[in-house]
Structures are given as structure tokens and as C-alpha cells.
Amino acid sequence: MILRRIEVNDRESIERLSKAASAIIKDYYDPIIGPEQNDYMIARSYTASVITKHITEGHNFYAMEDNEDIIGFIDIYPRGNALYLNKFYMREDFRGMGLGSAMLDFVKKEARRLELPSIELNMNRFNPTAVIYEKLGFRKIREEKIDIGSGYYMDDFVYSMTLD
């Protein structure tokens, strides 16, 4: 397993990431927010053109790969005084193997490298993995309800982890 940065000029990897990310998100969030809102959000966030745009805007996408197969991914970027963990997902059949912890360790190293004292993320308030993030040291700092259009909202908790 390797964690590999996706570069803006690597169209093939961006296409592969788009396909893998869409499938992972579809699988994970359909039961939580419903397929209609999830499909809407996938179209707004996980197409190759949107991923490319985000990379040009300073997002850093990394794919966790197992023999050319993307099994997980992260999207991080500095935001204010924190490293924002915008995306952090693993395919279901690879969860519980320690790969997510390795990815989080990488995120912590990047925050330290950038001299940012914390990591922040948004999480859907109905996401059952919130307890895992809390065990890893994240603390809920506020709630947000963000209008994303077409009558849909992201109803989130914001979590933060202060680095030592």
C-alpha cells in the first residue's frame, strides 16, 4: 500500500480518483443522507474537472493505492491556522486494517511540516464514525449547516485536533 500525491497534470490518476472516490462516497453516504442528495454532492465534488479545479486552488489530494487500485483518499489544504482535512475516506473492504491511522499520521506530519498547530474537519452529524475521530483526539468545536443548493444542506459538526 502506498499513499501517492495526485498531480494536476496527471489526468489518468485524476480520472481514477474520481471514479474510486465516487464509488466510496456512494457506498458510504447513501444510507446516511440518501441517494438523491449524495448523487448531487458527488456531482459537485468528485468529478475529474472538480478535482482538477481544487488542485489548482491549493488542495492536495493523496490516493491510498493497492496495486494500482485506489482504496482510499485524502484532500488537505491549509485554512487559517489549521490544516483542513477536507476528504478522508477508505473503501469499506479495507477499513479496520490500520490504513486510516497511517493516513492520519501523514496528515499530522503535513500539518507539522507546514507549522500549523491543528487539524480541522467537517463531519456529517449523523456519521457513525464520529466516535472514532474522538478516540483519535479530535474534539467537536461547533456545528454548521451549509446550504449547498437545490434544497440540500450539509448538516455538520466541526472537529479539531490540536497537535503537540
Q: Per residue of the chain (164 residues), what is the pLDDT tens digit?
A: 899 999 999 999 999 999 999 999 999 999 999 999 999 999 999 999 999 999 999 999 999 999 989 999 999 999 999 999 999 999 999 998 999 999 999 999 999 999 999 999 999 999 988 888 998 999 999 999 999 999 999 999 999 999 98
**Which CATH architecture fits 2-162?**
3-Layer(aba) Sandwich (3.40)
Is the sign of the CA dihedral 81, 118, 125, 23 positive or negative? positive
The confidence score (pLDDT) of residue 7 equals 98
Residue 80's Cβ-count burial label (10 Å; 0-12, 13-18, 19+) is exposed
Q: Which of 16, 70, 22 is nearest to 43 (CA)?
A: 22
- Which residues face 2 on adjacent strands? 65
8 Å CB contact between 95 and 135: no
CA distance linking residue 42 with residue 48, whole number of Å = 11
Coil, strand or helix: which one is 98? coil
8 Å CB contact between 120 and 158: yes
Domain-by-domain residue ranges, the chain? 2-162
Q: How many residues does the chain have?
A: 164
CA distance linking residue 99 with residue 159, whole number of Å = 21
In angstroms, what CA-CA distances link 101 with 12, 73, 106, 134? 27, 13, 9, 13
What backbone phi and psi angles, to 5 degrees, belong to 55? -60, -40
The confidence score (pLDDT) of residue 68 equals 84
